Amino acid sequence: MIARRLLLSIEIHFTQEGCPADGFINTLHENAMEVNGPTKNNVASPTSQSQSEAQPPAPVSDPHIPREQWGGKYEFLLSCIGYCVGLGNVWRFPYLCYRNGGGVFLIPYFIMLFFTGVPLFLMELSLGQYGAAGPITVWKCCPLLKGIGIGMLCVSTLVCLYYNVIIAWTFYYLGSSFQSPLPWSCEAPANAALCANISSGNGSFQSPSEVFWNEKVLGVVHSKGLHDPGPVRWPLALCLLAAWIIIFLCMLKGIRSSGKVVYVTATFPYFVLLVLIIKGATLEGSLQGVAFYLTPDWSRLASAQVWNDAASQVFYSLGIGVGGLLSMASYNKFDNNVIRDTLIIVVGNCSTSFFAGFAIFSILGHMAWRKGVPVGEVADTGPGLAFVAYPEALALLPGSVFWSILFFLMLFMLGIDTLFGNMEGITTAVLDEFPQLRQNMMHKTLFLAALCFAFYLMGLLLISDGGIYWFTLIDSFSTSFGLIIIALFMCIGISFFYGVNQFCQDIIDMICHCPPWCTKFLFFFKACWVFITPFLLLFILTYIFFEMYNTSLQYGSYVYPFWGKALGVCIGMACCMQIPIWAGVAIFKESGTLKDRFQKAIRPLNSWRANTLSSSGQTEEQAEPERVDGPYTVNLTSMDFNAMTWQSDSNA
């Protein structure tokens, strides 16, 4: 009886504390039977026996919802390659290469790639695959750093907001390419007077491609600046709507649908680039363009800007710190060789950037030869290259309509793949936080439709007359210092809070039969995660702040006002400030002294290992229950020591 009364007291205390004491109580039940022995001369009560037989134990429901997985390893590889190989590979890398010393730029580029890009890329893929969770839920490995996942979600939201506007521009140009002659060529009747002024040597006039871009597409000539967005350009609004409808349909069934789409969208751009390289090699003046692209200028290696441009190009082209890589890796099988995939994707991305320069500058060299000007006068970067310089070069080719359709179809495929990855980061984060949406297809469809429609409404600001000013502002600050800070804290958090040795062991656990070369690579990555990569990220961050303080933000001849630049800084701060905010929340939820709270906040939750067991096909029963705050204590009262009172109560 003493043991039974003590057991009742313990059960009441655990119930009040809210602790999962089932296993502990069951053990005490067994011990109680051993102490007291059988009652009533070892004869069980018929009533209690019938009740125990009539009430079988209720089955425990499994709260874990099955997670989708890629249909094959090629779907994951193509999705990651399509996500990384974006518009920046075509319009940014070639320009940076010729501006920063031609072929010399490849030296800092590959150094930054090996010591910053590849280690961070592997970290994201490994974190997502091991945890089988999105950018927010995966930080059960270190609850203190949950703000990193929230920050990734903020960055991804901003990127999706403006990136689909580029696809809308591409749609507009693609539709206009079906006209013969092209509306931005000198053969078009509307451009006859304009081309006559240019040929007469009057440099004050814009080219037909510039007029088409600024007046027909953007309408920026009708806006005075950031404060004057003007009306929405409805042809672009229809193109933006079509782009979001395509995104919605392709992502409706998750990776089961988008994983099949990438077989086309990720491979078609390579076919177009190959065709453009072959065509460019046959044009007069193409060698001058290639020479301009690769001619080395060794003195540029001493410039800090060259190293910053190399690091930023590696960082942004791989899509690090946005959450897309982490989300796509979370749908991998647990034993997937993540190191092999990292090397394949990174090599494919960088090779695409390098060879895209030949396709771009061979044709720009031909345009410079036709105009009789240096290649540097026709080269440009960003939207100016994709929508002004290169279309003008294509208009000079025989069969210009065909080449224009092919080029803008390639840009559409490049943009849609990158947007898939960013949207996957957002949807995976939300579905992991609200897993009931995965079970109900209708709820998931409504959520995705509402998300795409909200992005469409917000994107209308960017396709107004002054939308290009807002586009440039968001583009400049959404992936600026905030993204670097997120990646820096991710690297430091995994290396020092979660533990770099534990993280390397997790990678080895995933790669069941780890080849010797994988183990050797891990030693290199460990050194990068602890020392080299954080140092290089701090260098990039310092240079960004220095440049942001000393230079003004411009679009063409328009200089942004102070309040506009301050707004951009606030956009970047809103992303990285999630880290200290949610770290404070995690510490506040714990108990004890400040040091105890911090130590508890950096300790992985047991559900972090439960996800691993589920992903690897093991039973989740082996996982421990979720960590609790309250200690397991037993409160005893004076009645617990009064056996005579208990005995009298039982006899009564």
Residue ranges for the known binding site for Na(+) are 82, 85, 89, 317, 349, 414, 417
Whole-number Å distance between alpha carbons of 67 and 72: 15
Closest alpha carbon to 138 in 574, 498, 501: 498
Residue type for 366, please? Answer: H
Whole-number Å distance between alpha carbons of 318 and 325: 9
Residue 433's alpha-carbon distances to 161, 291, 426, in angstroms, are 22, 52, 11
Instruction: Enumerate the known binding-site residues.
Output: 82, 85, 89, 317, 349, 414, 417
Contact (Cβ atoms closer than 8 angstroms) between residue 541 and residue 485: yes
Alpha helix ranges (H) inside 212-337: 234-250, 255-265, 268-281, 286-294, 304-317, 324-329
Contact (Cβ atoms closer than 8 angstroms) between residue 125 and residue 490: no
1-8: which pairs have CB atoms within 8 A and are 24 or more residues apart? Answer: 1/36, 1/643, 1/646, 1/647, 1/650, 2/35, 2/640, 2/643, 2/646, 3/28, 3/31, 3/32, 3/35, 3/36, 4/32, 4/36, 5/639, 5/640, 5/646, 6/636, 6/640, 7/32
Cβ–Cβ contacts within 10 Å for residue 374, how many?
A: 11
Whole-number Å distance between alpha carbons of 249 and 449: 9
Beta-ladder partners of 232: 464
Whole-number Å distance between alpha carbons of 87 and 163: 10
* Residue 567 CB-density burial (10 A; 0-12 exposed, 13-18 middle, 19+ buried): middle
451-455: which pairs have CB atoms within 8 A and are 24 or more residues apart? Answer: 451/423, 451/426, 451/427, 452/244, 452/245, 452/247, 452/248, 453/244, 455/160, 455/161, 455/164, 455/244
Contact (Cβ atoms closer than 8 angstroms) between residue 581 and residue 573: no
Whole-number Å distance between alpha carbons of 48 and 53: 9
Whole-number Å distance between alpha carbons of 468 and 466: 6
Contact (Cβ atoms closer than 8 angstroms) between residue 91 and residue 391: no
Q: Taking the mean position of all CA atoms in its chain, how far away is CA 280?
A: 34
Beta-ladder partners of 559: 554
Q: Taking the mean position of all CA atoms in its chain, how far away is CA 651?
A: 69
Whole-number Å distance between alpha carbons of 274 and 271: 5
CA gyration radius, the chain: 31
The Cβ-side half-sphere exposure at 605, using a 13 Å CA radius, reads 19
Whole-number Å distance between alpha carbons of 159 and 168: 14
Q: Which two tokens stand for residue 235?
A: 């042809």
Closest alpha carbon to 478 in 567, 542, 383, 384: 567
Whole-number Å distance between alpha carbons of 134 and 378: 43
